[in-house]
Amino acid sequence: MIIVTRRGVTEAEIDHIRERIEGQGLRTHVSRGETRVVIGCIGDEARLQHLPLGTLPGVEAVHPVMKPYKLAAMQFAAEPTRIPFGSIEIGGPGIVVVAGPCSVENMEVMKETADFVSSKGARGLRGGAFKPRTSPYSFQGLGKEGLEILSEVRRHSGLPVVTEVMDTRQVELVAEYADALQVGARNMQNFPLLTEVGRTHRPVLLKRGMSATVKDLLLAAEYVMSQGNMNVMVCERGIRTFETATRNTFDLAAIPILKKETHLPVIADPSHGAGRRDLVHALAYAAVAAGADGLLVEVHPDPETAWSDGEQTLDFQEFESLMEGLRPFAAATGREMA
């Protein structure tokens, strides 16, 4: 249930509304917009049935939230959520590009990549220190050494860092080094992990599972948010279908659907979207046109020698071309590149 206050509501009235709700054993969450305040009620709403909430001072309307995901639902926020990421925000008018290699390989590659993507307009750096791989014999990442490299490259370049956390035992360690924690597709429904990252104060980049519906994705976000961490970004990265022409099938329709269903920022990953370098530009343009708030792009100085996912990774020239090509698509949606 959400309570929408009238214009000009006072802090005393807001406090009184919250006291009445919390007195029934529920929690409240206040979302403040430019023109209104939304108070979300979290818990057993049956306890509120006998309360005349509509008559409380400052209340304009009371609405039930019918979605199974309450905190992530569009109605739960007064306006779209903006997530802090380093010195910038994701979810505002600017479209944010986060770029970097699939895996952290060494200091030289990471610094060279960070310097280049930053010069072309990227506002964040990605790179996996821990890598979930289908084969146990594939490169699994550098672990803590990779995190230390990311931290040093952040100091060198000024770019905030997002990297994946795979296990509840890693959360504290990764949070020490990263500006945002990525929960990958294979872990989207790892509920203990979602709960643990929800207890941190780090923004969370939550990727859609390979067989997950949009509803599944938003319920996974709900797990994180139910622990008190409201800074969640949901990421469309392609799903697994019967199609064999691409590694994954990029669900473009999911982006405008998510923009209608949730107040959370929506990120698109065109690199994993199809698993093909030659399709990254087209998918990125389409994602921006569909309303994505940001892009996650794999970039490497020499993709042919990349330790993982080289077939879907852009080289520097291709990334520069991508950034130039994105501007008119952003403008067509009334936005700009951050």
Q: How sure is the predictor about 202, in pLDDT bands with cuts at 50, 70 and 90?
A: very high
| Crossing angle for the helix pair 316-332 and 107-119, to the nearest 10 degrees | 40
pLDDT at 195 over 90: yes
Taking residues 110-116, report their average pLDDT. 98
In a domain, 91, yes or no: yes
User: Do 38 and 78 touch, CB atoms closer than 8 A?
Assistant: yes
Q: What is the pLDDT of residue 137?
A: 67
In CATH, what number is assigned to the domain containing residue 158? 3.20.20.70
Three-state DSSP at 247 gives coil
pLDDT at 135 over 90: no
In CATH, what number is assigned to the domain containing residue 59? 3.30.70.1140
pLDDT at 226 over 90: yes
Same domain, residue pair 26 and 133: no
In a domain, 94, yes or no: yes
Which residue in the block uniquely carries the two structure tokens 């005393």?
12
Taking residues 89-113, report their average pLDDT. 97
Q: How sure is the predictor about 36, in pLDDT bands with cuts at 50, 70 and 90?
A: confident
Q: How sure is the predictor about 118, in pLDDT bands with cuts at 50, 70 and 90?
A: very high
Same domain, residue pair 17 and 115: no
In the chain, the percentage of residues whose pLDDT exceeds 90 is: 84
Residue 214: which residues within 8 A CB-CB, separation 6 or more?
Answer: 208, 254, 257, 258, 261
Residue-wise pLDDT tens digits, 156-174 = 999 999 999 999 999 999 9
Number of domains within the chain: 2
Q: What is the pLDDT of residue 338?
A: 87
Residue-wise pLDDT tens digits, 232-265 = 999 999 999 999 999 999 999 999 999 999 999 9
- DSSP letter at 65? -
Taking residues 123-135, report their average pLDDT. 87
pLDDT at 134 over 80: no
Same domain, residue pair 56 and 118: no
In a domain, 331, yes or no: yes
Same domain, residue pair 157 and 231: yes
Same domain, residue pair 24 and 113: no
Domain that residue 129 falls in? 83-337
- Residue 132 phi, psi (nearest 5): -80, 120
Element spanning 255, H or E = helix 254-261
Question: What whole-number distance in Å separates Cα of residue 293 and Cα of residue 33?
Answer: 19
pLDDT at 148 over 70: yes
Alpha carbons within 13 A on the beta-carbon side of 130: 21
In a domain, 333, yes or no: yes
Same domain, residue pair 90 and 191: yes
Q: How sure is the predictor about 47, in pLDDT bands with cuts at 50, 70 and 90?
A: confident
Q: How many residues does the chain have?
A: 338
pLDDT at 42 over 80: yes
